A and B are shown apart, each in its own frame.
Chain A
Amino acid sequence: MKSLSDTDERLSPDGDRTPQGSRPPTDARRPRRILKPLAPSTYLIRNTGKTIPLVGVIVLAVTLVSGIIAMIDSIPYSIRTVYRYAKEETGITPRGDPTLLPQILADIRKHAPVPLERIVVCRATGSIVKSIVGKWPFLVLGLKQDDMRYYAEREGATSVLGRYPAVGKPEALISAPVAKNLDLKLGSVVLKPDDIDNYAPVPVKVVGIAQTDRWFMVDSVEFQRDNYFPPINDAMIFARTSADQEKLDHWTVNRFKGKRPVVFAYYQIEKNTKEMFATLYAILNVVISALALVITFMMGMLMNIYQSQRLVEFGLLQAIGYTKKQILRRVLSESVAVIALGWILGLGLTYALLHLAKSVLMEPRAYSLDVLDRQAYLYTVPIPLCILVVATLTVVLRFRRFDPVSVVERRLV
């Protein structure tokens, strides 16, 4: 074969060919890397103007869905976090009859299905903590000195900044999250006469802050007996292990079902929270499904437009000898790559935004937000799947009766 090049050309050191002895201003530009021409990545890399919007829409959709779910989830998560202290004990109150408690405790001591570690007779009064959805009720437990120390340790306190409340004094020990939530420091007044939410007949000062992630507030049981009505003792029963505590919770609830005492067990808080949010999640499911439908429809249309723009390419490839299956496989690989990339980046963006929201908005007030909320991320799974199904259908339908000759004859372009 003879050479028919217009000029005498030689291979340049960088692999490109440039006319010998002349300055090649246009050809000396940095050569593009040789890519595998029909690899799915090649189309995506070389068509970022088309790839980025598609990926962007999926990223936004995933972020929107997972962000909404994570924020909604933060409410029950907050409930579980704020009242987590209840997991350590089974609470019981004789519902207004102070004479009942000794009988109740005797019954529990005699029939409890697990070994008991401690029974604490206490008093309790109400206060308020803040949450992202407003004010929540919270207990201030009145405890004896040794019970106070046992309780703080049981709730995971590693140390106490300051000291424990003195017997009968208007002093409180609060945990670090409560201090953060109510913006309290040592010496701050936590309960006072003119505060209807956090009432005490005399101002109660914070004298100790327990270092733990649990939420609790305790003061002297003698102080509560002297200052609060009604004069009714309550009790907290502690089992030795978490598993035993759960057994004890269930047993106590069943034991006193239909009777006068009221039992407070952590599993009931979880159950009630689930029931409370069941309707909200049902509504949310409808909203998210509608959103996924809209996003899928939109993505389907976008992909259809992009594929229409590539008919010449598909026609050419088929005309020169690529099978429909090969082209279909390639287009679907591209779609999978775009969808997977959008989904992964969406999850990454969600994680980053939730982290930001947690550190800027939530943590300063000790509000709870799970940045690794499994449910929030699982909710996004249908999005890529729906888009993939629509993309596949779009491509398959388009290729079913595709005639490459119509393209090379310019009947389709």
Chain B
Amino acid sequence: MIGARGASLAYNDHGRTVYACREVDLDVRPNEFLGILGPSGSGKSSLLYLLSGLKIPTSGDVTYNGANLSKLGDDERSRLRIREFGFVFQQPYLLGYLTALENVLVSSPQDRRVDEALSLLDRLGLGGKTHRLPHELSGGERQRVCVARALLGEPKVIFADEPTAALDHANGLHVVQLLNALRGSGSLVMVTHDPTMLGEADRIVRLSNGIVEEFSDDENDLSLLRGKIGG
């Protein structure tokens, strides 16, 4: 589905080349929950931006269903994101002048999927707050609206960049559970520094200094990795 081959993302920092990600080889498979773990500054978010087409690798390739994202234009990658992907960011970014329902509808520019949006908000426990503006919602509720926005239109892949960062642990865990429960047949790629958020992950990738250090995809490995990072 999504494949990264030798993908690197380098920045020029006052004449010095700094790698956010270095020669990453990674696949995102259909219908899986892929966790990307790592401490702050390890390059997790950069990897997510590469996989989602928000950034272009400075070397190597990232492909989506065979199409090389580097070879797509800015507009084509944008169209791919809105058509195929869903996004949840660290901060529950919503448009302040739109209601919860309208914020969800933002991710469906062509069709007005009002019924689907209402249904999603309902399932996310916001059925009674669809007409509220973001400032009338709590932080957890706002992030749940972001989740609904990401899920609208049944995207093929949902990218979640530390979606629990602005929430307390219980609320954060709840949001991750909701994302995983409602993603349907789509894949979920979630970046986090907190291994306890990846309890439902099918696979976990551990990143350190922009380099993929470990893969875990069976239950024993997963428990071990969660334990290592958690401990």
Task: Give B75's nearest chain A residue, CB to CB.
Answer: A323
Contact between A325 and B75, CB atoms less than 8 A apart: yes
CA distance A26 to B13 in the complex (A): 51
Task: Give B114's nearest chain A residue, CB to CB.
Answer: A34
CB contacts (< 8 Å) of A323 on chain B: these are: 74-75, 78-79
Considering only residues 101-121 of chain B, those with a C-beta below 8 Å from chain A are 101-103, 105-107, 109, 112, 114, 118, 121
Contact between B107 and A320, CB atoms less than 8 A apart: yes
Considering only residues 28-62 of chain A, those with a C-beta below 8 Å from chain B are 29, 31-32, 34-38, 42-43, 46-47
Binds B, one of A11-19, A111-119, A261-269, A367-375: A11-19
Cross-chain contact of A42 among B80, B97, B112, B131 (Cβ < 8 A): B97
CB contacts (< 8 Å) of B124 on chain A: these are: 4-5
Contact between A321 and B78, CB atoms less than 8 A apart: yes
Chain B 18-58, CB within 8 Å of chain A: the 1/0 string?
A: 00000000000000000000000000010001000011000
| Contacts between the two chains (Cβ within 8 Å), count | 121
Contact between B45 and A409, CB atoms less than 8 A apart: yes
Binds B, one of A189-197, A220-228, A309-317: A309-317
Cross-chain contact of A27 among B102, B107, B129 (Cβ < 8 A): B129
CA distance A326 to B55 in the complex (A): 19
Determine the interface band of chain B, counting residues with CB < 8 A from chain A. Answer: 35 or more
CA distance A35 to B112 in the complex (A): 10
Given known contacts A4-B181, A321-B85, A324-B74, A408 and B118 CB-to-CB distance under 8 angstroms: no
Count chain A CB atoms within 10 A of each CB in B78, B98, B121, B181 and give the residue with the most.
B78
Q: Is A2 an interface residue (CB 8 A)?
A: yes
CA distance A7 to B125 in the complex (A): 7
Determine the interface band of chain A, counting residues with CB < 8 A from chain B. Answer: 35 or more
Q: Is A158 an interface residue (CB 8 A)?
A: no
Contact between B128 and A9, CB atoms less than 8 A apart: yes
CB contacts (< 8 Å) of A320 on chain B: these are: 81-82, 86-87, 106-107, 149
Contact between A322 and B109, CB atoms less than 8 A apart: yes
Cross-chain contact of B130 among A17, A46, A322, A405 (Cβ < 8 A): A17
CB contacts (< 8 Å) of A5 on chain B: these are: 122-125, 127
Other A-B pairs beyond A18-B127, A36-B112, A408-B161, 9, CB < 8 Å: A17-B122, A32-B99, A35-B102, A37-B105, A38-B106, A46-B97, A321-B107, A322-B82, A404-B54
The 9 closest A-B pairs by CB, nearest first: A321-B82, A17-B127, A321-B81, A46-B97, A9-B127, A31-B131, A27-B128, A6-B125, A323-B78
Could you pull out 13 A-B pairs where Cβ atoms are within 8 angstroms? A17-B118, A17-B127, A27-B132, A31-B131, A37-B95, A46-B98, A313-B95, A316-B93, A319-B54, A322-B109, A323-B74, A324-B75, A324-B78
